[in-house]
Amino acid sequence: MTSALRSTPRPDRLPALLWALLVVPLGTLAAWVGIALADGLPRILWVAPLGLTAAVAGVVLACWRFEWFVLTVLAVRASLDVAKLGPSSGRIEVATAIGLLLVVTTVVWLVRPRHVDGWTGPSLLTRVAFAFLGAVALSAVLAGDRGASLTEVARVAVVVALLAALDRLLVDAAALRRALVAVALSALVPLAVAAAQALGVGGAREIGGFERVRGTFLHPNPFAMYACILLVMAVALVGVVSMRRRPVLLVGIGALGLALVGTYARGAWIAAVVGVATVAVVKRSRLLALVLVVGLAAVVVAVPSAVQRFADLDTAERGSGDPANSLSWRLSYWRDAMPLAERNPVTGIGLGMVSQELDEGVPPHNDYVRIFVETGVVGLIAFVGLLLALVVTARTALRRAPPGLPRGVAEGFAGVLAAVLVLAVTANLISQVVVVQYVFAFAAMAVAAGRLGPTRRGVASRRAAPPVQTGEPLEA
């Protein structure tokens, strides 16, 4: 018996063969990418090998330790859109391949029988998210272009898979910290690229007379949404991290704030203000409210062009009759999209079909309008249910999360949710999988934070970390 136990491989050590499967291809790839970039070879010659190697490494990592695979996806997802190739049709997308891999591995991992101490089943949010996925899938059945609609459904499935995986993985305070670190790491590359764009290295986009940074994203707007939700969560965590880590977090907040300003995305600016204000309210912090006001005043003084971004809102139309600003265009576009719902008010015209039906070729820039038109009454009910589940998640986390990091996560998610509700009014948030993945990652963290506290019966959760059980605050 003793010899048999000693001969069993240690579960925390990757076998030599798997190391070879990871290290050798990655080393070869690094050399090839360096040569391709130095020689100015076509982009596909280095992105395609990158995607293939990432897929192989992802399979190996998912089979070895699923949690690390999920955290790796969180850490790299924000940087993957830069690897998209070609036109919108037939485009090679590394992010899509990794998303599908996440769905498959999550399903396999969830159906395997396992015992988790204190596990009481999927959260309310996860169950409602699966119901919403079913509703949007139903809309694709009668869509004019089933292939395009099912593609959009698959994007929703990636987000639901991530939520389900994190709902099961975040079982203690240590897992919660690891997830937060993974999200923080995801911002390094986008912020570095945005800084280069702000300095004129290249990649910024001139839209409406403004040079707008976009980081590793395809457009400034999704980058602004991403920076917004990370900024709100980071602000909420300042008071609960250790003094040693606080300077790093403050630098991150500054970088996210500058990047957000550089996107010139008005909707994200407003959402960020609402989110931070919500955090100040739930924290009952007058100091944070004061910092928010001072910060806004500093932006107005230091970046006059930010004020100019709102200058055209008092004019609805130009002399030619065209909308004078994006808000007027959105209102007009919503009026054009709403009649499409009459074709099938029950299940809608199919997720993603508004962009196929209207000449502009883009979604409605309003998730509430889009869900009603594309998924009908069934989808709208499921969507409202999903929003209510998010609200319940935030409320439960605020009531039950113990002091320290869990409480900070609960407060941060309340602010993130407020920002998301604002963004959904004027943005295609549901289409931005990269952004929604981080929103639902924070939602899963809020679920975990609530589980770490006392249950309804007043009994401490069996999965709570020792500091929580002893009443000591947790520090990140």
3-state secondary structure 146-186: HHHHHHHHHHHHHHHHHHHHHHHHCCCHHHHHHHHHHHHHH
The answer to whether residues 375 and 136 touch, using CB atoms and an 8 Å cutoff, is yes
Question: What average pLDDT does the segment 458-473 reach?
Answer: 40
Question: What average pLDDT does the segment 438-460 reach?
Answer: 80
Counting residues of the chain whose pLDDT is more than 70, the rounded percentage is 73
The answer to whether residues 375 and 135 touch, using CB atoms and an 8 Å cutoff, is yes
Predicted model pTM: 0.81
Confidence check: pLDDT of 143 > 60: yes
Confidence check: pLDDT of 467 > 50: no
Confidence check: pLDDT of 361 > 60: yes
DSSP letter at 143 equals -
Beta bridge partners of 454: 460
Q: What is the reported pLDDT for 2?
A: 40
Q: What is the reported pLDDT for 4?
A: 38
Residue 166 to residues 237, 445, 450: CA-CA distances in angstroms? 20, 8, 14
Instruction: Report the range of poorest mean pLDDT among 41-45, 361-365, 387-391, 446-450.
Output: 41-45
Highest averaged pLDDT of the listed ranges 96-100, 173-177, 206-210, 302-306:
173-177
Q: What is the reported pLDDT for 53?
A: 63
Residue 96 to residues 41, 132, 161: CA-CA distances in angstroms? 24, 21, 14
Structure tokens at 357: 């039906």
Please report which confidence band the pLDDT of residue 381 belongs to, taking 50, 70 and 90 as the band edges: very high
Domain boundary assignment for the chain: 16-114, 120-311+322-469
CA atoms within 13 A on the CB side of 311: 9
Q: What is the reported pLDDT for 98?
A: 80
Highest averaged pLDDT of the listed ranges 120-124, 140-144, 263-267:
263-267
Structure tokens at 230: 């990370």
- Across all residues in the chain, what is the average pLDDT? 78
Instruction: Report the range of poorest mean pLDDT among 17-31, 320-334, 351-365.
Output: 17-31
Q: What is the reported pLDDT for 437?
A: 94
Confidence check: pLDDT of 304 > 80: no
Q: Compare 81 and 24 and report the one with higher pLDDT.
A: 81
Rounded to 5, what percent of the chain is helix, strand, coil? Answer: 70, 5, 25
Name the one residue in this structure whose structure tokens are 């015209």: 349
Confidence check: pLDDT of 43 > 80: no
Please report which confidence band the pLDDT of residue 474 belongs to, taking 50, 70 and 90 as the band edges: very low
First to last CA, the chain: 41
| Beta strand spans in 325-439 (E) | none
Could you give the 3-state DSSP secondary structure of residue 333? helix
Question: What average pLDDT does the segment 141-162 reach?
Answer: 87
The answer to whether residues 434 and 81 touch, using CB atoms and an 8 Å cutoff, is yes
pLDDT tens by residue, 244-280: 889 999 999 999 999 999 898 888 899 999 999 999 9
Helix axes 405-426, 220-237, angle to 10 degrees: 150
Instruction: Please tell me the distance from the alpha carbon of residue 425 to that of residue 389, in angstroms, as a whole number.
Output: 18
Please report which confidence band the pLDDT of residue 204 belongs to, taking 50, 70 and 90 as the band edges: confident
